[in-house]
Amino acid sequence: MSLLIKNGEIITADTRYTADIYCEGETITRIDKNLRAPAGATVVDATGKYVFPGFIDPHVHIYLPFMGTFSKDTYVTGSQAALVGGTTTLIEMCCPARKDDALASFELWMAQAAGKSACDFTFHMGVTKFDGTTEAQLREIVRRGISSFKIFLAYKGAFGVDDTELYRTLKLAKELGVVVAAHCENETLVAERCKELLAAGRTDPGQHHESRPPAVEAEGVHHLMTFAELTGAATYIVHLSCQEALDQAIAARQRGVRVGIETLIQYLTLDKSYAEKPDFEGAKYVMSPPLRDQRNQSVLWNGIRDGLINTVATDHAPFDFEKQKPMGKDDFTKIPNGIPSLEERINLLYTYGVKTGKIDLHTMVNAASTVVAKQFDLFPRKGAIQLGADADLVVFDPSYRGKISVQTQHMNVDYSAFEGWPLEGRASVVTVRGEFAARDGKFTGTLGRGQFLQRKPSHF
Ligand code: URP
Ligand code: ZN
Ligand code: ZN
């Protein structure tokens, strides 16, 4: 297929101009004014619209066995939701249980995606133990095209690693040039505080924040930064939620530690009062780290604006309100953690970030696409509008007005954390490698066409 996108205002991380984009097959081959459509080309009129590079979500969970259940989306539903929302590439967390082997788990996660996903995808390889067999398996996984690991300093007894495992993982990552993404919360503090709260009869969803306050996250970040400093490994803090944690990461960066910082659309737009809603409604908003005091939102927006925070992700982890969240009806520690948001990240960033003047369009593109591609060895194939790049494009309509609703979402979950929120703009046309994937809130792509993106480590 050849495709001509005419008269759009092209917005990249650092340029803004009006031109036509011609895509031959899967690739952008011409960008210029007044391009003429060759016979047979499909033409999209993008007059009055922005054209962004396809957005990349660096932190999603699709197949996630977690807290005694499974997150709700599959690649069939999740990739459709992503594409309708303008996200053309997913980086999923491959999260083996501690008893499972890394290589078999990698193959299991791959089997969930290959032949099913409509968008392109890759994985952060979760390192949830480091025993005598782990190293050889991780080397093999890197040979197969993975260039990032994921570790959890939280979730004692489930995914969490101890300090010896952490040290060995970082040393191996340094040798291989792999970046290590990390969930930073002190698991011992969380476990002890949970016990204390439950013993005091404090069982409702609002207690989740009390079990892991900002100091718990800040300690996790400080902990990781010490290990990163001593090993020289490149690190990436996932879902950073608060000022205290940011301060620790920036202090480490100032002394030379290599660290990328990710925050989430949930922390930018929701606060801890949502998780305190009565009648168990707060369970919809339980995730880790928890939603924070509202004062943190401006810290995070300003951090993105000033380049201290590098990326905005979703940590998409959908669990039904009717059937799954009630696992923790009488004990908040059993509420499956996660707030679905894969479909809404870009719409929310635009409406509540760009339209309110908190960040500009270039910063949005950078944090949700270009920096992600650079950080995770996908650039310039992804994250760019330039000759030779994949024709992953989002024609975005800033004149759209609508509301978020569970009734219209594609995510396979029975609620929206943003029900009724107004939107001012949405993706109008989305392409993946030159083919249509979504139009005006509807999926129009091809299930199974999504490719596994092989990556080569660069963080030596
Ligand atoms: O609450 C969360 N974040 N759920 C998903 C698992 C994780 O920690 O990323
Ligand atoms: Zn996490
Ligand atoms: Zn996560």
Point out which residues pair with 148 in neighbouring strands: 179
Q: Which atom of ligand 1 is nearest to the CA of 287?
A: 1
Q: What is the pLDDT of residue 241?
A: 99
pLDDT class for 209, splitting at 50, 70, 90? Answer: very high
Distance 439 CA to ligand 3 centre (A): 28
126/61 Cα distance (integer angstroms): 12
**Spans of all domains in the chain:** 53-375
Taking CA atoms only, the protein residue closest to ligand 1 atom 1 is: 287
Distance 97 CA to ligand 2 centre (A): 14
Measured from CB, residues less than 6 Å from any atom of ligand 1 are: 61, 183, 239, 287-288, 315, 317, 337-338
For 53-375, CATH gives: 3.20.20.140
Determine the pLDDT at residue 189: 97
Query: Mean pLDDT for the chain?
Result: 98
Q: Is the pLDDT of residue 124 over 90?
A: yes
Closest CA to 430 of 209, 67, 119, 112: 119
pLDDT of 19-43, one tens digit each?
A: 999 999 999 999 999 999 999 999 9
Q: With helix as H, strand as E and coil as C, how does 392-429 read?
A: CEEEEEEEEEEECCCCCCCCCCCCCCCCCCEEEEEEEE
* C-alpha 210 to ligand 3 mean position (Å): 20
Tokens for 300, please give them.
């995070």
Which stretches does DSSP call E strand in 184-244?
235-237
Q: How confident is the model at residue 156 (pLDDT cuts 50, 70, 90)?
A: confident
- The ligand 1 atom at the shortest distance from the C-alpha of residue 66 is 6
pLDDT digits (tens, 9 = 90+) for 301-316: 999 999 999 999 999 9
* Res 168 pLDDT > 90: yes
**What is the helix (H) or strand (E) element at residue 438, kind and residue range?**
strand 435-439
- pTM score, two decimals? 0.98
Among 93, 185, 287, 316, name the best residue to mutate to test ligand 1's pocket (greatest count of ligand atoms within 8 A of Cβ).
287
What separation in Å is there between the alpha carbon of 51 and the centre of ligand 1? 32
Q: Find the 459 Cα to ligand 1 centroid distance in Å.
A: 25
Taking the CA of residue 152 as reference, the ligand 1 atom at the shortest distance is 8
Interval 66-99: pLDDT, tens: 999 999 999 999 999 999 999 999 999 999 999 9
- The answer to whether residues 147 and 177 touch, using CB atoms and an 8 Å cutoff, is yes
Mean per-residue pLDDT for 130-144? 97
Distance 288 CA to ligand 3 centre (A): 8
Among the atoms of ligand 1, which is closest to the Cα of residue 95?
Answer: 6
Pairing of strands 2-11, 50-53: parallel
* Residue 1 confidence (pLDDT): 84
Contact by Cβ (8 Å): 141, 174: no
pLDDT exceeds 90 at position 157? no
Q: In this predicted structure, what is the pLDDT of residue 454?
A: 98
Q: Are strands 87-94 and 120-126 parallel, antiparallel or unpaired?
A: parallel
Q: Give the mean model confidence (pLDDT) for residues 144-158.
A: 95
For residue 45, the tally of other CB atoms under 10 A from its CB is 13
* Cα end-to-end span (Å), the chain: 39
Q: How far is CA 357 from CA 214, 295, 297, 370, in A?
A: 27, 18, 14, 20
Helices 214-231 and 187-199, packing angle to 10 deg: 160
Region 204-218: what's the mean pLDDT? 98
Q: Which amino acid is at 97?
A: A
